[in-house]
Amino acid sequence: MKVGIDLGTTYSTVARYDKQTSRPEIINNKFEKELTPSVICFLDNGDVLIGEDAKDMQAGGAGTIAASFKRGMGDNSFTVEANGRVYTAEDLSAMLLKKLISDAEEKSGEKIDSVVITVPAYFNDFQRTATIRAGEACGVKVMKIINEPTAAAISYGYNRESNKTVMVYDLGGGTFDVTLVKVNKGNIQVLGTDGNHILGGKDWDAAIVKFVCEQFVEEYGVDPRDDEPTKNELIVASENYKKILTRTDSVTIQIKYEGYSSKYTLTREQFDLRTHFLLNATKDVCMKLFGDLGLSWADVDEILLVGGSTRMPQVTNFLQNISGKPVIDHADTDLAVAKGAAITSEFYCSSSTGVREVQISDVTAHSLGVLAESPGGDRYINEIMIKRNSKIPSSVRKPFKINPGNMTNIIEVYTLQGESKVPLDCYVLAKVVISGFYNSGDGSIIDVEYNYDENGVVRVSAFQEGEPLQVDAEPVPADISWMGDRPENRSSGAPISKNVVLCIDLSRSMRNSLEEVRKVINDFVMSVGDEYTKFGLIGFGDKVGIMRDMTNDPNMIVTALDGLKVNAYGRGTDGSPFGTAAMMLSNRPGGKMIVVLTDGIWGKRDFAVGEALNCKNSKIAIVGVGIGEADLGFLKQISTVQEGAMYTTLDKLGETFSTIASALGSGSMGLRESAGGDGGRLKSAEVRGRLR
C-alpha cells in the first residue's frame, strides 16, 4: 500500500488514496485520532513512547521529551540525549515515522511499502535529504518528497474542473508561508513561494502575554515576565486564551504573581487590533511574492487557508479586505496536506501507471549557486545557477573559466543555497571535487551542471568539451571563514560574461504586436540581467538604428523599449541588423549573441544571410524568432543553430523568450551545428565562445 504522510512539527497525519471512492482518506491512529502528536518520550526504564502516549507524559513532566524536532532536521547540532544515546532530528523523525507506519498498517490491515512525505517549501537540501533518509530508515520506499503548500493545493484542486490561480496561505505555529499555484484539472503548477519563518501563531500568543503583563505592571509595579517559569506558564495559557477568542467574543484571564492577583478581560476586537500588525507582516510576504512573479491580487482567483492559525476569524476578514477575493475556509485545514500527499502517492509519482492525465510542477524556494571568484578576482561570490522559484526538476549548466592560477589538477566546487551574493550569508550545502580535466593554464573552461531533482535535492556534475568529468563528494570543512577572504586559488573561477543584442523589426506590419513585444523583452532582460550580462537594442526596417548601445543595466533597455515605434526606420524590411549588431559586439570579452524578432519576409534576404554568416564566423550566436508572416526557412538560414530558429505566435512569445533566457543561462543552445550540418557537436569551447 502507498500512503502520504504529513510529518508535522506538532502533529503528523497519514492518509491513503481510496480507489473505490476515488478520494483520499485519513488513516486514524490507534486512538482513532486523525492527528498523532509529533512527540517522543524516553522513559527512565528504557521504554520509548511515541505519539499520543508521549504527549500525555509531556503534560505530566515524566521522562525525556523530544518535541518540535522537525525544526532541527538537517542540523547535526540539534540533538536529544536520552538513556545514554544521542538522537538527531533525523533519528527522531525515523522513530516517529516508523510508529505512524506501523499504526496505519495495523489499522488498515495492509502492509505499507511506499510513502510520500511532505516538507515545508522552504526546507533546504539538508532538510530534504534528512527527511528522505528518515523514511528509508523505516524500510519503506520514499517515492517522493513534496512541499506542504503544494500538497494542500493538490488536495483542494485535484478533482476540480477549474482553471484557477490559488493562493495557499499557510499560517502555522511558528512559520508563515504563501504559495501561488495554478490548478487546472489535475495539473498543478506552482508559480512561486515565499515565507517568513519566524512569524506564526506563537506571536499571537505573545501579544496576549504582553496585554496581560503590561496591565499587571501598571497595577502592581512588578512584571510576571521577569520570572521564567511564570512567563512560560503564561505563554502556554495564552495559546488557550487565543483559541477561546476564536470561538467567543471575549476571554477573562486570571494572573497571580508575587502575591498579587488580577483578572483582565480581553475582547476579540481588542485582540484583533493588537495583532493587526502581524497580519500586515503576512501581507508584506504576499506582496513580495507578487513582486517577484510580476503578479497582483487581480491574478488570484481564490485564497486557500492552511495551518491552525488561520482558524482565527481575523485572518479571513483581513484577507477578504485586502484582496477582495473569496477566502476558502478549507474544512480540512489540518488534513489537507496529508490528503494531498496521498493523492500524490497515487497519481503523481513517476512509478504510477498514468491512471489520469495529471501533472505537477513545483518550484524551488531557494536559489542555488556555486562559489566563484568575482570577475576582478578580489573576493568570493555566490554565482547563482538556479534562481529561486524556478521549476523543478530543473537543470542548469554554466561554463566557468578555470582560474589561470590554479596549478593543481583539482577544482573544488561548493554548492551554496541562498539569495545573497555573499557566500557566508548562504548555506554551504555540499562540496565536490572535480578532477580529470584539461587545463592549459590560461583559462580553460569546464561546465558545471546543477540538477534539482523533483524532491528538491541537488546533484552536481561537471563536463569538459561535453565529456563528463570525475566528481567526488567531500565533507564541507568545518571552517569556511576563508570564503569571506580574498580568493587564493580555491574556486572554480569566475563566470564568463555575456553580450546580447536584441534586434526588433519595426516595419509597418508590427503595429499590432509591438505592445506585447515590449512586455516580453522587458521580462526577458529583467530575468536574464545580472552583472555579467550586457544588452544592446536595435530597431530595424528599411534602415537600422541603435536604440541603446551595450549596457549592464537592464533598466536602460526597459527605458529604450518605450522608444520602439512602428515605421521608425521605414515601412518595409530592406535593412539587415546583423552588421550593426556585430559592430556593437566587436572587441567585447565573453560570449556574444544576437536575438532577432521579426514578423515578415525581408526585402534583401541574401544580403542578410551573408551578414549572418559573417557573424557566425566571428563566433556570434544568432537566434531568429518569427511571428506572423515570418518564414521559418529564412529564420533557419540566419540562425547559427538549428534550435535558434523559432517560429511562434504572439501569445506564446513570452514562452519563447523564456526558452532563450534559460538557454542563455545553461549554454545549451549552440550545441548543434547549424542548418546543413550533420547535427554533430562543435568543439564546445568554440560554441561557448559564441554564447558568453
- Name the site residues for Mg ion (rule: CB under 5 A): 172, 307
Indicate the residue among 202 and 268 with the shorter CB distance to ligand ADP.
202
| CB proximity list for 60: less than 8 A, separation 6 or greater | none
Q: Residues 282, 288, 292, 297: is their CA dihedral positive or negative?
A: positive
Indicate the residue among 253 and 510 with the shorter CB distance to ligand ADP.
253
Rounded Cα–Cα distance for residues 321 and 327 (Å): 10
Under rule CB under 6 A, residue 195 binds ligand ADP: no
Under rule CB under 6 A, residue 16 binds ligand ADP: no
Nearest to 438 by CA among 412, 469, 394: 469
**Cβ at position 149, least distance to ligand ADP in Å:** 11
Fill in the DSSP letter of residue 299: G
Of 308-316, 354-362, 512-520, 612-620, the segment contacting ligand ADP by CB under 6 A is: 308-316
Under rule CB under 6 A, residue 311 binds ligand ADP: yes
Indicate the residue among 154 and 520 with the shorter CB distance to ligand ADP.
154
**Cβ at position 208, least distance to ligand ADP in Å:** 11
Which of the listed partners (Mg ion, ligand ADP, none) does 242 bind, with a CB threshold of 5 to 8 Å by partner kind? ligand ADP
**Cβ at position 483, least distance to Mg ion in Å:** 34
Rounded Cα–Cα distance for residues 246 and 260 (Å): 29
Rounded Cα–Cα distance for residues 150 and 116 (Å): 13
Selected binder of ligand ADP within 304, 312, 315, 386 (CB under 6 A):
312
What is the layout of strands, in order, in the sheet containing 410-417? 380-386, 368-373, 410-417, 427-435, 470-474
**Cβ at position 242, least distance to ligand ADP in Å:** 5
Nearest to 648 by CA among 557, 520, 498, 507: 520
Measure the N-to-C terminal CA separation of the chain; round to a whole number of Å: 51
Under rule CB under 6 A, residue 536 binds ligand ADP: no
Indicate the residue among 175 and 576 with the shorter CB distance to ligand ADP.
175
**Cβ at position 111, least distance to ligand ADP in Å:** 29
**Cβ at position 421, least distance to ligand ADP in Å:** 31
Within residues 372-401, the interface with ligand ADP by CB under 6 A covers none
Under rule CB under 6 A, residue 308 binds ligand ADP: yes
Rounded Cα–Cα distance for residues 597 and 646 (Å): 10
Of 239-247, 373-381, 452-460, 640-648, the segment contacting ligand ADP by CB under 6 A is: 239-247
Q: Residues 433, 437, 439, 444: is their CA dihedral positive or negative?
A: negative
Give the angle 49-52-56 at the CA atoms, nearest 5°.
80
Under rule CB under 6 A, residue 577 binds ligand ADP: no
Collapsed DSSP state (helix, strand, coil) of residue 111: coil
Selected binder of ligand ADP within 33, 98, 133, 243 (CB under 6 A):
243
Which of the listed partners (ligand ADP, Mg ion, none) does 157 bind, with a CB threshold of 5 to 8 Å by partner kind? none
**Cβ at position 124, least distance to Mg ion in Å:** 17
Q: Are 40 and 68 in contact (CB under 8 A)?
A: no
| CB proximity list for 606: less than 8 A, separation 6 or greater | none
Rounded Cα–Cα distance for residues 302 and 681 (Å): 49
Of 301-309, 590-598, 638-646, 663-671, the segment contacting ligand ADP by CB under 6 A is: 301-309
Indicate the residue among 237 and 424 with the shorter CB distance to ligand ADP.
237
Under rule CB under 6 A, residue 631 binds ligand ADP: no
Residue nearest to ligand ADP (CB): 201
**Cβ at position 419, least distance to Mg ion in Å:** 23
Indicate the residue among 157 and 307 with the shorter CB distance to Mg ion.
307
**Cβ at position 364, least distance to ligand ADP in Å:** 21
- 591 grid coordinates: 560570449
Fill in the DSSP letter of residue 681: B
Which of the listed partners (ligand ADP, Mg ion, none) does 243 bind, with a CB threshold of 5 to 8 Å by partner kind? ligand ADP
Rounded Cα–Cα distance for residues 205 and 173 (Å): 10
**Cβ at position 9, least distance to Mg ion in Å:** 7
Q: Are 548 and 560 in contact (CB under 8 A)?
A: yes
Note the helical H segments in 465-623. Answer: 514-528, 554-561, 578-585, 605-617
Selected binder of ligand ADP within 8, 423, 493, 590 (CB under 6 A):
8
**Cβ at position 284, least distance to Mg ion in Å:** 20
Which of the listed partners (ligand ADP, Mg ion, none) does 10 bind, with a CB threshold of 5 to 8 Å by partner kind? ligand ADP
Q: Are 416 and 365 in contact (CB under 8 A)?
A: no
Of 7-15, 56-64, 179-187, 459-467, the segment contacting ligand ADP by CB under 6 A is: 7-15
| CB proximity list for 281: less than 8 A, separation 6 or greater | 176, 196, 199
Collapsed DSSP state (helix, strand, coil) of residue 642: helix
Under rule CB under 6 A, residue 272 binds ligand ADP: no
Grid cell 571535487 in the structure block, residue: 433
Selected binder of ligand ADP within 51, 157, 201, 591 (CB under 6 A):
201
Which of the listed partners (ligand ADP, Mg ion, none) does 543 bind, with a CB threshold of 5 to 8 Å by partner kind? none
| CB proximity list for 302: less than 8 A, separation 6 or greater | 164, 165, 166, 167, 325, 326, 327, 328
Grid cell 567531500 in the structure block, residue: 474
Say how many residues touch ligand ADP, by CB under 6 A. Answer: 20
Indicate the residue among 118 and 382 with the shorter CB distance to ligand ADP.
118
**Cβ at position 288, least distance to ligand ADP in Å:** 21
Rounded Cα–Cα distance for residues 467 and 437 (Å): 10
Selected binder of ligand ADP within 79, 114, 246, 374 (CB under 6 A):
246
Indicate the residue among 244 and 293 with the shorter CB distance to ligand ADP.
244
| CB proximity list for 562: less than 8 A, separation 6 or greater | 518
Selected binder of ligand ADP within 1, 10, 187, 349 (CB under 6 A):
10
**Cβ at position 197, least distance to ligand ADP in Å:** 10
Rounded Cα–Cα distance for residues 245 and 247 (Å): 5
**Cβ at position 309, least distance to ligand ADP in Å:** 4
Selected binder of ligand ADP within 4, 195, 307, 577 (CB under 6 A):
307
Indicate the residue among 9 and 648 with the shorter CB distance to ligand ADP.
9
Give the angle 423-428-429 at the CA atoms, nearest 5°.
145
Q: Residues 458, 462, 463, 467: is their CA dihedral positive or negative?
A: negative
- Provide the mask over 167-186, with x wherever binding to ligand ADP is found by CB under 6 A and - wherever it is not: -----xxxx-----------
Under rule CB under 6 A, residue 567 binds ligand ADP: no
* Beta strands 533-540 and 498-505, pairing class: parallel
**Burial grade of 472 (CB within 10 A; 0-12, 13-18, 19 or more):** exposed
Indicate the residue among 171 and 266 with the shorter CB distance to Mg ion.
171
Fill in the DSSP letter of residue 405: T
Under rule CB under 6 A, residue 9 binds ligand ADP: yes
Nearest to 361 by CA among 526, 234, 190: 190
Binding stretches for ligand ADP (CB under 6 A): 8-11, 172-175, 200-202, 239, 242-243, 246, 307-309, 311-312
